[in-house]
Structure 1
Amino acid sequence: MNTCKTALRVIWAHKFYLLLYLVGMSLVMIVIGSTNMQAAVRANASSSVGRFEPARAKVAVINRDCGDQVGCELGRGLEQYLSKSAQLVTVEDRPQALQDANVSGKSDLTIIIPAGYGQRFLEALEDTAAQAPSGGKTLGFPKVETAASYNSSRGSLAQLQVDSYFDALRSALLAGRGQNGSMELHSSAVFNGAAAYAVAHYADKQPHVGIHASPKGDNRALSEGFATTVGLAAFPLMTALTVSVATLFAAFSSPDRRRRLLASPMRSSSLNGQELTAALILAGISWAYYVALVAFSMAASGVSLTSLGWGRVLLSFFAMLIFAVSAASFGFMLAQFNPSSSLINSVGVIFGLVVMFTSGSSTGGSLPPVMQTIGKLTPGWWYNTAVQSIVDTSAADLASWGLPLTVVALFALAYSCVGLMVSRLTRTRATLVALAGSDPSMIG
């Protein structure tokens, strides 16, 4: 375990890379993900069905025929009818007050039932009932006085409701809907029953506005925001682990250190295993850090991970862990070429940017064909595809997310195999050079 501890101390000696690439870049990615998440929260909150309410017109009803029982019942029924779609306001029955109400916007529509209106309505109704069987000409029904405000079109729409009320009332009276089918039209109870019938059947006679929206319980927008936040881990994890792991193995791969390690009584497989263990520990710590950061970001945005489904959340975090191992494997492969520190940083940053911009996590939409082709040559595209598939489908749908996640694991295996092959060739060449340099025949 001494080699593993030494490897961890090497990593800690280069902690600036972790602070810069892992902590610094992850905070930037989390801020971007939180912005998308808050937009998803607002979209989810505004997508609930039933939040739409049509504008209600302000209507004033002035009944100057209250002295007559029929006129009183007509006015009372009209107010009940309009109260279902409009806001009733009180205006004094004075010319100046009525004008001010319309001009100031206090009333969108002013309705005046003139004196004697009830009797004229009753006479027209009786004439219609008498002339209907013979098909003779009937008297026209009287109209109430209306004045719509020019400041709003709601008054004109409410005026249509007024006409609808009197049409419904007339039809109910002629059909005998007043009081048990009675046609005693002079009875106020008949008008009261007909008005109640017209009000009760208001909803069946009015057009409805159908609202097509996602139910409030639909977490699709939140799930997509979560997938974007998890997908943005590609850049900080790839860059930080590439640079840190490459720096670690480069420190153990120099010829002098390698010869001292090979001269020790410990087997080379044990040495390599402890170095690999330190790299995996670093990958696990980086993964756990980013998971905690994502969980904190979700909580700060007001989103519970439970609402997204623990199956999807845990699988997404598992995909992130596989990607972290792939990033560490790439760093191991890079170290076997004995690069300089500046080259390690350059390759780590450039490859991290390529992974981020070709994975699709930073764009939020489909990539051009060229970018998709480049992205499929890196584990980032497959990682983002796996996360999106996990969020979009059920956890039991293994085929949708299992294939891209397997490809990410194969990238990790491929990087490790290439690194081991290069390491084997490098060590063999170093051994041959050492043997040639110690040959006595080569001395002066």
Structure 2
Amino acid sequence: MTICKTALEVAKVHRSYILLYLVGLSVIMTFFLTQSVPGVSGSKPVYAPLKSHVAVVDRDEDKGGVASGLREYLGRTNTVVRVDDDRRAIQDAMATDQADIVFVVPKGYMRDFAQAALSGQPPKQVDSVLRSRNDKHDLSEMKVLTFLSNLRTAYLAGGIAGGDAHDDTSGASSAGLPADGLSADTLSSADSANSKQTLQPDDESAMRRAVTDVLRATKTASEDAHVSVVATRHGSGNVSASRVFGLSLTLGNYPIVASTISIIALVVGAFTSESMRRRMEVSAERQQSVSFGLLAACAVIGLLVTVYYLVLSVGVTVWQTGSLAGLAWGPVVLATCSMAVYVCFGVSIGFVLGRLALSSRAVNGLANVVGLVIAATSGAWSFGTSVMTGPVALVGKLLCGRWYVDAIDQAMGLGAYAGSGSSIAGWFVSTGVVALFALTMVCVGLAVRHSVHKVVRNT
């Protein structure tokens, strides 16, 4: 018990590190969170369409007007941005939040699309590049699929009509496109056979007429649509509260690791210095009691860090959403357990560095470097893992932060798991990997301790 109290006194002496790494960095991360996730304000329901920043990269020289038509169609419900046809430019657009998703019209797409339509096959899809899958990306891809399905219908219908229907003022309806402009009913086999007699895959004019019909029909449908907001009991509070709480925990991976590494390394290092070692040799304390005392002190520090960040995350959630009514306590408990295991990982790294008896400057530098590398490759910041290069993504999988973020997403049903919801099995696997990282570092620390003691005995 004496060793534990002494170790905690050492941590108290280095309270500046606690204020800097744990409190200071957590406040900065909280500021980033509040800027990226708007809070719930006001009680009057307002309809706000889910918009994305989309880009259309044309590699088919706008043959048949497909690329320009797709760009105009998406621009009615999204913000269309310009991205150059270059891999680096696309990656930069993703990393800087310039674009949420990029659709690529490949070379020869119009001809392949026409051939697929004339042969009775489903519409050929365009390529897409995205950061990480969420509701906005799914909605954008659904809109692209709707456009292509309607384009196929209008293209085949134009072939049946022989192009005469386009002189009619009724536009898309006379061309065979459904009046609402939103369905994609395929034509009968007989109609498709008639289309083959009048349409050719290289006929750009027929495709341009079909694109015009689709744009005219969908514009008319959107103008005639009436939107009403229906008040619900909870509204979107469930999603908002879970998202804020989960993001708060994932953004805390850097402050958690940096603070635990620096504090634990300084505490353990104080007991492995040469002067302290000589005092311990002449004291009545056994080595086992010293080890248990240090372990207890590390556990207390880890518990305090866990409680602090849990309280901070709950406070940010209340601040942003107004209440905790939207939080399901089951996922919260799972996410908290993942955070506690992640804290143990940071404690284990600090234990290893403390056994090496490094200076405070070295500990400070290593805590920052390790924390930044783990956080940057975890996918918790503004860019997702999908825009990382192959080697960087591989490094992320070999580090603990990526699995910690995945465990939080699995527990809260966020990120790639927003559609499927919370998964206990997936959470257990990811949290187990984090625990294995922590156990590995503890074993390394014990091996370092054994090697140091062996060298000391030989000298």
TM-score of the aligned structures, taking structure 1 as reference length: 0.57
How many angstroms does 1:214 deviate by? 11
Structure 2 counterpart of 1:274? 293
1:338 and 2:364 equivalent? no
User: What secondary structure is seen at the aligned counterpart in 2 of 1:308?
Assistant: coil
Per-residue Cα deviation, 1:174-222 (whole angstroms, up to 9, x for no partner): xxxxxxxxxxxxxxxxxxxxxxxxxxxxxxxxx9627699996344354
User: What secondary structure is seen at the aligned counterpart in 1 of 2:284?
Assistant: coil
Structure 2 counterpart of 1:5? 5
Conserved 8 A contact 2:410-2:424: no
Conserved 8 A contact 1:375-1:381: yes
How many angstroms does 1:255 deviate by? 2.3
Residues 63-102 of structure 1: matches in 2 within 5 Å?
none
Amino acid at match of 2:277: R
1:411 and 2:437 equivalent? yes
Which stretch shifts more, 406-415 or 310-319?
A: 310-319
1:372 and 2:393 equivalent? yes
1:227 and 2:243 equivalent? no
Per-residue Cα deviation, 1:112-144 (whole angstroms, up to 9, x for no partner): xxxxxxxxxxxxxxxxxxxxxxxxxxxxxxxxx
Conserved 8 A contact 1:243-1:331: yes
- Paired with 1:380 and 1:229, the residues of 2 have a C-alpha distance of 14
Structure 1 counterpart of 2:406? 385
User: What secondary structure is seen at the aligned counterpart in 2 of 1:240?
Assistant: helix
- Paired with 2:40 and 2:287, the residues of 1 have a C-alpha distance of 52
How many angstroms does 1:223 deviate by? 2.8
Structure 1 counterpart of 2:37? 37
- Paired with 2:274 and 2:329, the residues of 1 have a C-alpha distance of 49
Residues 22-61 of structure 1: matches in 2 within 5 Å?
22-38=22-38, 46=46
Conserved 8 A contact 1:40-1:222: no
How many angstroms does 1:364 deviate by? 5.1
User: What secondary structure is seen at the aligned counterpart in 2 of 1:306?
Assistant: coil
Structure 2 counterpart of 1:309? 328
Distance 1:212 1:419, change over 3 A: farther
- Paired with 2:47 and 2:335, the residues of 1 have a C-alpha distance of 26
User: What secondary structure is seen at the aligned counterpart in 1 of 2:296?
Assistant: helix
Unaligned runs of 5+ in 1: 50-206, 434-444
Conserved 8 A contact 2:403-2:431: yes
TM-score of the aligned structures, taking structure 2 as reference length: 0.56
Conserved 8 A contact 2:40-2:322: no
How many angstroms does 1:46 deviate by? 4.8
User: What secondary structure is seen at the aligned counterpart in 1 of 2:385?
Assistant: coil
Per-residue Cα deviation, 1:337-359 (whole angstroms, up to 9, x for no partner): 22111110000011111111111
- Paired with 2:45 and 2:37, the residues of 1 have a C-alpha distance of 12
Amino acid at match of 2:350: G
How many angstroms does 1:281 deviate by? 0.6
How many angstroms does 1:429 deviate by? 0.6
User: What secondary structure is seen at the aligned counterpart in 1 of 2:37?
Assistant: helix
Amino acid at match of 2:333: L
Distance 1:353 1:215, change over 3 A: farther
Per-residue Cα deviation, 1:14-40 (whole angstroms, up to 9, x for no partner): 111001111100100111122233268
1:283 and 2:302 equivalent? yes
- Paired with 1:30 and 1:228, the residues of 2 have a C-alpha distance of 10
- Paired with 2:226 and 2:395, the residues of 1 have a C-alpha distance of 46
Distance 1:371 1:274, change over 3 A: same
Conserved 8 A contact 1:41-1:221: no
Amino acid at match of 2:253: A
Conserved 8 A contact 2:240-2:321: no
Residues 240-251 of structure 1: matches in 2 within 5 Å?
240-251=259-270
How many angstroms does 1:272 deviate by? 0.5
How many angstroms does 1:391 deviate by? 1.3
Amino acid at match of 2:318: A
Conserved 8 A contact 1:36-1:225: no
Conserved 8 A contact 1:47-1:215: no
- Paired with 1:396 and 1:389, the residues of 2 have a C-alpha distance of 5
Distance 1:210 1:223, change over 3 A: farther
Amino acid at match of 2:403: W
Conserved 8 A contact 1:223-1:391: yes
Structure 2 counterpart of 1:321? 340
Query: How many equivalent pairs are there?
Result: 275
User: What secondary structure is seen at the aligned counterpart in 2 of 1:9?
Assistant: helix
- Paired with 2:320 and 2:363, the residues of 1 have a C-alpha distance of 36
- Paired with 2:378 and 2:313, the residues of 1 have a C-alpha distance of 19
Distance 1:366 1:220, change over 3 A: farther
How many angstroms does 1:254 deviate by? 1.0
Conserved 8 A contact 2:244-2:316: no
Conserved 8 A contact 1:360-1:381: yes
Conserved 8 A contact 1:34-1:229: no
Conserved 8 A contact 1:224-1:391: yes
How many angstroms does 1:47 deviate by? 5.5
Q: Which has the larger radius of gyration?
A: 1
- Paired with 1:282 and 1:269, the residues of 2 have a C-alpha distance of 20
How many angstroms does 1:428 deviate by? 0.9
Conserved 8 A contact 1:41-1:222: no
Structure 2 counterpart of 1:264? 283
Conserved 8 A contact 2:45-2:229: no
Conserved 8 A contact 2:378-2:385: no
Per-residue Cα deviation, 1:306-333 (whole angstroms, up to 9, x for no partner): 3121111221122111111110111001
How many angstroms does 1:303 deviate by? 4.0
Distance 1:214 1:241, change over 3 A: farther
How many angstroms does 1:397 deviate by? 3.0
Conserved 8 A contact 2:377-2:385: no
User: What secondary structure is seen at the aligned counterpart in 1 of 2:321?
Assistant: coil
Amino acid at match of 2:431: L
- Paired with 2:41 and 2:307, the residues of 1 have a C-alpha distance of 25
Which stretch shifts more, 16-25 or 307-316?
A: 307-316
User: What secondary structure is seen at the aligned counterpart in 2 of 1:305?
Assistant: coil
2:382 to 354, 358, 363: 363
Conserved 8 A contact 2:338-2:407: yes
How many angstroms does 1:45 deviate by? 6.1
For the aligned residue pairs, the C-alpha RMSD in angstroms reads: 2.7
Distance 1:235 1:214, change over 3 A: farther
* Identity in percent: 30
- Paired with 1:214 and 1:416, the residues of 2 have a C-alpha distance of 55
Unaligned runs of 5+ in 2: 50-222
User: What secondary structure is seen at the aligned counterpart in 1 of 2:380?
Assistant: coil
How many angstroms does 1:259 deviate by? 3.0
